[in-house]
Amino acid sequence: METLVDAPKQEERKLNLRLTGFEAKEGEIENELVQRLNTELLQGQMRLHVKVVAAKRQWPATSRASTSTASTCPDAVLLKFATSEDCQATLRGRKGLAGTRLGLDEDLTPTQQARKSELWPLFKAAKAAGKCAFWHTAKLFVDNTQICLPSSI
């Protein structure tokens, strides 16, 4: 039942990715941010031939933000792509961000985030055991078999 309620939110977010660690420029408007993301990050640093069509800053909660960084460092930038192919290509290309302070993840719903948190210890254990473990949205696969907890069935 929880999955049925969450489905519209999941569908709405499937073309989105969350970018963390990308500094905002003071007074930068959305169009400028989109242009900078496309040229500096996607085509420049990641060497991808995809384009972000919209970007929105997600600012940290005031209780978490320090006054020195709150004005220039959003918690994340929400990237929206025109096609799922562009979104998936960008996600696969995040290896190009290795060694930087930038992070790129799927835009998960709170339900998906909770599910992924529950499965995280199993993911770490599988990786430590040398197994092929990967995520597809909030679903964990180990050796090409989906892993489910009894509470998420």
The answer, yes or no, to whether residue 145 has pLDDT greater than 80, is: yes
Could you read off the pLDDT of 29-38 as tens digits, one per residue?
Answer: 888 889 989 9
pLDDT of residue 67: 46
Q: Which residues pair with 145 in a beta bridge?
A: 142
Q: Does residue 76 lie in a domain region?
A: yes
Q: Both 120 and 102 in a single domain?
A: no
Is position 1 within any domain? Answer: no
Q: Are residues 76 and 34 in the same domain?
A: yes
Question: What is the overall mean pLDDT for the chain?
Answer: 81
CATH of the domain at 70: 3.30.70.1820
Q: Is the dihedral of CA 120, 112, 17, 50 positive or negative?
A: positive
Q: Are residues 28 and 96 in the same domain?
A: yes
Q: Are residues 41 and 94 in the same domain?
A: yes
**How high is the pLDDT of residue 127?**
93
Question: What pLDDT score was predicted for residue 4?
Answer: 57
Same-domain check for residues 25 and 40:
yes
* Percent of the chain with pLDDT strictly greater than 70: 82
Q: Does 93 share its domain with 130?
A: no
Domain range enclosing 53: 14-106
Does residue 76 sit in the same domain as residue 139?
A: no
Contact 109, 13 (CB under 8 A): yes
**Please, what sign has the CA dihedral across residues 111, 112, 113, 119?**
positive
> pLDDT per residue over 39-80, tens digit each?
988 888 888 888 888 888 876 654 344 444 444 555 688 899
Q: Count of CB atoms within 10 A of residue 103's CB?
A: 13
CA 81 and chain centroid, separation: 13
The per-residue pLDDT for 86 is 92
Report if residue 7 sits inside a domain.
no
Q: Are residues 56 and 123 in the same domain?
A: no
Q: Clarify whether residues 121 and 59 are in a common domain.
A: no
> What is the number of structural domains in the chain?
2
Helix (H, G, I), strand (E, B) or coil at 93: helix
What is the pLDDT averaged over residues 132-137? 85
Does 21 or 2 have the greater pLDDT score? Answer: 21
Name beta bridge partners: 106: 17
CA distance 104 to 109: 15
In a domain, 3, yes or no: no
How many CA atoms lie less than 13 Å away from 69 in the CB half-sphere? 13
